[in-house]
Structure formats: C-alpha cells, structure tokens
Structure 1
Amino acid sequence: MTTSLAPGAVDALLFDLGRVVIDFDLARTLKAWAVELGTDPSAMMKRLAANDTFHRYETGQVTEAEFFAAVRDTLGLKLSDDALRDGWNAIFIGEMPGIAPLLARAAQHLPLYALSNTNDAHIAHFSEHYAHLLVHFRELFLSSRIGLRKPNAEAYDHVVKQIGVRPERIVFFDDLAENIEAARRHGLKAVHVRSSADVAQALDQLGLP
C-alpha cells in the first residue's frame, strides 16, 4: 500500500531514529566485541533478540548490567560492562546522509517527534553525539522510557495520544516494513525509508518548501 501525501494533509511528522536519522551497523559492535562475524552478522543479533532480556532491556524492565550479563552468556564473552558498553555504542556510524537539512526544513513547518526502539546505553550515547539532529524534535518517544516497542499496537496508541492529533494527520517514517505496516493499521500515514531521498520526496509531496 502506498501512502498518499498532499499539502495540508498532516499536522505532525513522526520519525524512527535508527537508519532514518542516525545510521548504524551491527557488525561494528560485533567487531568491537571481537565476535567472529562469519557470513551473517545479523545472526548474532537474532541470538540476542531470542533472549527475552534484550526486549526487556529495550522496554526498561531490566538494567544495563542485567542486559550485559545476558550478552556475555548468549555470546560466550568475558568482557567487562565498560567494554561491552563501548562496543554496544560502536554500532553508530553517523547521521544518515542528507537528513540534517531535511529535518531543519521540516521543523520550520510542522512539529517533529521520534518513536524509536532503543535502550538506555544508546540513549546516553546519541543524546550527546547527535544533539544537533535531536534538537529538531519536540519530543522523543523512546521504548526504554515509555515501556513500549514497535510494532506493538500500544506503542502507536501511546504516541498518537501524546501528540494529540488524529492518527491520519501524522506521517511516520521508518526503515522496517513491519513497523510501517503496523503504523498504517493504526491509521497513520507511513513512509518506508530506504534513504533520505524518501524523506525528501515526502516533504515535497506535503508542499514543505
């Protein structure tokens, strides 16, 4: 399903952070942890994701120390919490190419919000290193702070209520198809982001100069 956008059609823009605003690569973390990557680094994250502690960390239900203990157990590592934290934050590459001027442009015309599945270690890191991007957002809805993750229905319901406008008046930008589909099921307009060009095209369709 393609989202139809037109000038005057929305009252707020909602952005995922990872691979929409801030780029990342899991292989960087695994390399920092000296984990053998093999041919599929994502397989390692699947092993972590299969451990319920990962999801509970992303919804603020377990501490950083408990999460790192689970990482050590799941991946067979002997690293300290500090070393694991450094590697965990090594995942970030930098801002998505071209996104900074697009956020500045959009923020001149509409309120910007973010909805991201993340955790306290990453929040501390990107809040410091990417403040120049985050300054454009009126509010950040971060899973470990609100206790809710995409694509769960409750996450979208919570954000729509907090923003205070009808869901069909919100455009949501995300890089994962499952999150896009869930947002559309809850009435939001949604744009599947593969690069910043998708964000630029949406802003053009909304008539934002």
Structure 2
Amino acid sequence: MERPRTVVFDLGEVLVSSGAVIPRLAAELGTTVDEFLPAYWSGRVAYDLGATAEEYWTGVLAALGRAPEPGLLARLTAIDSTKWSTLPQVSADLLAHLQAQGVRLGVLSNAPGPLAAAVRAAPWSAGIPHLVFSAEVALVKPDPGIYAHADSVYGTEPGDVVFFDDRVENVEAARAHGWDAHVWAGAGPALAALDR
C-alpha cells in the first residue's frame, strides 16, 4: 500500500507574508522599512536558534540607535509573534482545502520561541498536528539535520514529504534529504504541484 503524503509548509513568506509584519514593526519604532530591515534581519538566525526575545530586540534597537526599554521590547515581541502567526485568508483557504481532502499537513519554519508559541496557540494550527520550529530544536534550515528531525516528528520517510519554502537553499537542502520540495510561488501553483 502506498504511504500517504505529508504536505509541509514554511511559515514566513509562504503561509504569511512579511508585508503584514515588517511595516507594522517599523511604524512602532518610528522608522522606515528600509532603515528597519537590516537591523531586523542581522540577528535573526540567532533568535531562530533559540536566543531570547530580550537579546534579539536589544540588538535590533542598538542597531537603530535606540535604548532597550522593557515595555518596548515586550511590544515588539508581541507584534512580531502575532503578525507572523496570523494567516491571510488565502493561506487559511489553502489549508482548509487540503484538510478537507484528508491531506496530512505539517509546518517546518525557522522561527524564534515566541513565534512558535504564538503559532501553537493560533486556532488555525489546531488542525496541523506536526509543527517543527527551529528555536525548539536548535537547528535552522538549510541544516540537513532539521529535515531529518522533522521526519522523526512527522513519522515520515523522506519520500513521503512534499515541502514548500520560499528560499531556494532550503528547497535544495530538502531535496538532498529526499523530500519532494518546491520553491513557493503561491497557493495556485502549490495546488497544481500537488495534483501532479
């Protein structure tokens, strides 16, 4: 009997666009998106690997010449986690469509601890039993170890997984692991790939 496929999605720039997140954070700090982006991404890998929110946001603020006020750190953490864990309708519809067809779903995301907690608390994730976040396993894509770890969580063999990610290097690493991996191009192309 053929094993069922597990369809796995990245979070950022796949299920959720940064367009819903970055401008809101920049506005909170009274800065432009162009000024904010380098500060936001410079320490993000360490945050995704498990650094604390205080460590991460203190670094972001320092890069922008700002002091790390406790209330501001908490607000930035909350905005970041809430915005990245809120699905747009197109993604909610995609997941609902696949769930209605009985497709087994998973998430694999480079994500810090507060975001992982926000996704687990979000109503939409209740129908996705297998969520793997980098901060919880101290591995980030495209490290080969994270794909092997995800298989252990999903209970899959590499050939069982179809994966969508926005970054070519993550897709290539997933393919090297044996997953059927695709560069994200939107919900329509994803459904077409799954139909094939």
> For this structure pair, what is the TM-score category when the shorter chain's length is used for normalisation?
0.7 to 0.9
Q: Which residue of 2 aligns with 1:105?
A: 97
Deviation at 1:117, TM superposition (A): 0.7
Letter in 2 for 1:202: A
Would the aligned equivalents of 2:11 and 2:107 in 1 still touch at CA under 8 Å? Answer: yes
1:15 correspondence with 2:9: yes
Would the aligned equivalents of 1:149 and 1:155 in 2 still touch at CA under 8 Å? Answer: yes
Classify 1:163/1:123 alpha carbon distance in 2 versus 1 (closer, same or farther; 3 Å): closer
Would the aligned equivalents of 1:102 and 1:199 in 2 still touch at CA under 8 Å? Answer: no
TM-score (norm 1): 0.77
Q: 1:166 aligns with which of 150, 157, 160?
A: 157
Give secondary structure in 1 for the equivalent of 2:31: coil
Classify 1:37/1:24 alpha carbon distance in 2 versus 1 (closer, same or farther; 3 Å): closer
Deviation at 1:159, TM superposition (A): 0.7
Would the aligned equivalents of 2:58 and 2:68 in 1 still touch at CA under 8 Å? Answer: no
Unmatched 5+ stretches in structure 2: none
Q: 1:148 aligns with which of 121, 126, 139?
A: 139
Deviation at 1:146, TM superposition (A): 1.4
- Give the % identical residues: 27
Query: Aligned Cα RMSD in Å?
Result: 2.5
Cα distance between partner residues in 1 of 2:111 and 2:167? 14
By relative contact order (CA 8 Å, sep 6+), the higher-ranking structure is 1
Would the aligned equivalents of 1:19 and 1:96 in 2 still touch at CA under 8 Å? Answer: no
Letter in 1 for 2:52: T
Q: 1:132 aligns with which of 109, 123, 126?
A: 123
Would the aligned equivalents of 1:29 and 1:87 in 2 still touch at CA under 8 Å? Answer: yes
1:83 correspondence with 2:78: no
Kindly tell me the number of residue pairs found equivalent between the two proteins. 189
Unmatched 5+ stretches in structure 1: 1-7
Classify 1:35/1:121 alpha carbon distance in 2 versus 1 (closer, same or farther; 3 Å): farther
1:200 correspondence with 2:191: yes
